[in-house]
Amino acid sequence: MAVLCAAPRASGAQQSTGAPTSPLSAFDSAKAEALLRTRVPCLGCHAIGGTGGRSAPDLTHVASRRSADYIRAMVTDPARALPGTTMPRVPMPASMRELLIAYLSAGATPGALLVSSPRAADSSLRTGASLYARYCAACHGERGTGDGPNARYLPVRPAMHADPVAMSARSDDRLFDAVHGGGYPLGRNAMMPAFGETLTRQEIWQLVRHMRTLCGCAGPAWSRPAPAPSINPTPLRR
Ligand code: HEC
Ligand code: HEC
């Protein structure tokens, strides 16, 4: 975790740049909660009111710890607010982002701005395996067995990337799309986050190749590149 320090503030001299933290209407609260359950992956990693993952700070009373500005910055562009964080930037319409920020910030005190000390940017080698350990293993398990520490808090089991039967039914492009766009656009569970605004395309392809080593399998025949001259019926192995 980052070391946190309260920024000194001359009382009354500074105005928060965030939205005013007026209490939300019951309708807006209910709408935000519905989005959190079905549309956005936040509860895959964060808990609110006892529901959700445990790989990120509990957001139930985040407004008592964090300023509205900080909450806004994290939800809008996590890598910029907190360099080196594993929180992905979640793609969503601006109106939805505003509602979630307002929901989390309700009651936040503008004077209680907390500033995170910048962390060293992640300089470790970004291989498929290290990316998987850092961004995926909390839910999918280090070896892709679908049983990472967060899995039991999720409404559906994370895909088992080590399962050659399930994985050989999925094309590489499908795996890429799932990692790039997340579960929601594919009609899958929204707790699978989108990483397309966090990782490069090259990094996502590295993850696809890593998932292929976890299952020791290839995608369906139709999805593979042009057939080699000689037919080779053995599945891809390492
Ligand atoms: C893949 C996991 C993951 C997802 C999905 C995720 N976050 Fe986070 N988030 C984190 C982690 C980890 C941190 C803590 C920062 C750090 O230490 O890197 C964090 C920090 C935060 C913070 C600051 C909390 C604090 O106490 O400092 C807020 C606010 C936040 N996230 C909101 C959200 C919202 C809203 C969503 C959904 C739109 C979301 N997060 C989705 C992992 C995630
Ligand atoms: C917060 C938990 C969480 C994290 C972090 C996470 N996933 Fe997932 N993932 C899920 C869940 C849950 C599903 C199952 C969705 C379903 O079956 O409806 C899933 C499904 C998938 C699928 C299958 C989609 C399909 O049906 O074709 C792929 C591929 C995948 N995840 C890759 C990854 C990769 C790679 C990472 C890391 C970059 C990652 N996931 C990070 C929770 C997570």
- The per-residue pLDDT string of the chain (238 residues; one tens digit each, 9 = 90 and over) reads 443 443 333 333 334 444 444 578 999 999 999 999 999 999 999 999 999 999 999 999 999 999 999 999 999 999 999 999 999 999 999 999 999 999 999 865 443 444 444 454 555 568 999 999 999 999 999 999 999 999 999 999 999 999 999 999 999 999 999 999 999 999 999 999 999 999 999 999 999 999 999 999 999 999 987 766 665 566 666 5
Identify the CATH class of 25-116.
Answer: mainly alpha
Measured CA to CA, the distance from residue 144 to residue 158 in angstroms comes to 9
User: Closest residue (by CA) to atom 23 of ligand 2?
Assistant: 159
CB of 90 within 6 A of ligand 1: the answer is yes
Ligand nearest to the CA of 156: 2
Q: Kindly tell me the sign of the dihedral angle through the C-alpha atoms of 236, 124, 205, 38.
A: positive
Pair of tokens at residue 182: 């997340």
CB of 204 within 6 A of ligand 2: the answer is no
pLDDT of residue 122: 54
Ligand nearest to the CA of 170: 2
Measured from the Cα of 53, ligand 1's closest atom is 2
Amino acid at site 60? T
pLDDT of residue 225: 77
Measured from the Cα of 136, ligand 2's closest atom is 37
Domains 25-116 and 128-220 share a fold: yes
CATH number for 128-220 (one of 1.10.760, 1.10.287, 1.10.3470, 3.40.50): it is 1.10.760
Ligand nearest to the CA of 169: 2
User: Closest residue (by CA) to atom 22 of ligand 1?
Assistant: 74
Contact predicate 158/148, CB 8 Å? yes
Contact predicate 131/203, CB 8 Å? yes
Q: Where are the domains of the chain?
A: 25-116, 128-220
